[in-house]
Chain A
């Protein structure tokens, strides 16, 4: 969608045009759902967040300002809604918290070079499941940045705006998330290679 199209869409939303609401939902609900699901790890809750996001957005569209695009604004609403739900969850529901909150840059420990493994091993359903599992286990602060930058393809500045943090913070957290996942995958592929040698 071009900038001009988006401005026209926002103007229609502000005028209360229902077809504009439908267009907005059609365009942006997939991304909002992906963010909510990655943050909450629960399909039903993610669905609720999508609904809440658009209800809140349509109510507040009159105050929308062009600091960032419409999608960034919607991600911000969705992120806050998901965060409220995460805060309400008892701690024991959060599975596999790593030993730190992701704020420190851990020295890599897994130094197995798994790049040379066959593509069929790297891209197997099991490897993908392991990666999904690792993303779910990312510390919350890192996960939100990681999802927006790496999976939703937002720029550093857009992700910063959506999450209400500085661009520098986005860069740092993205890097820590990548290193964290690399460490996790290295452990998995290292075990896989060792099991292959023993077989």
Chain B
């Protein structure tokens, strides 16, 4: 049985863990806890998946007309070329 305060204590370090930036000692502590705590395992797995889905989002882009307006407003219209 894991003490509930461990969950709260480790919660703040989960991004370091997911980003591979946690120390070896902290990683071991988190992994010991996860082996025993289903709730935290779900949080870690879904947090990892959330980051993955975010990074897969298509990036918004300036429209062609917005790009043209930008170049003109900066007095750079002469450098407007079709986007590669």
Contact = CB atoms under 8 A, between A and B. Distances in A.
Interface stretch (A6-14, A27-35, A95-103, A191-199): A27-35
A33 B79 contact: no
Contacts of B43: 108, 111, 182
A150 B51 contact: yes
A30 B61 contact: yes
A169 to B, nearest CB: 13
Interface in B8-41: 8, 11-12, 14-16, 39
B74 interface: yes
Interface in B37-58: 39, 42-43, 45-47, 49-51, 53-58
A184 B78 CA distance: 46
B12 A105 contact: yes
Interface string B49-81: 111011111111110001101110111101100
A50 B60 CA distance: 14
B15 A175 contact: yes
Interface in A127-176: 127-128, 131-132, 135, 150-151, 171-172, 174-175
A127 B50 CA distance: 11
A74 interface: no
Contacts of A181: 50, 54
Contact of B62 (A38, A47, A172, A178): A47
A185 B51 CA distance: 11
The majority secondary structure among interface residues of chain A is helix
Q: Identify the interface centre among A34, A51, A123: most chain B CB within 10 Å of its CB.
A: A51
A178 B46 CA distance: 10
Interface string A45-67: 00100110011001000000000
Contacts of B76: 18, 21-22, 25
B44 to A, nearest CB: 10
23 contacts: A18-B76, A18-B79, A22-B71, A22-B76, A25-B70, A30-B61, A34-B60, A50-B62, A51-B70, A54-B70, A108-B43, A111-B43, A113-B45, A113-B46, A128-B53, A135-B54, A150-B51, A174-B15, A175-B15, A181-B50, A181-B54, A185-B46, A185-B53
Interface of B: 7-8, 11-12, 14-16, 39, 42-43, 45-47, 49-51, 53-62, 66-67, 69-71, 73-76, 78-79
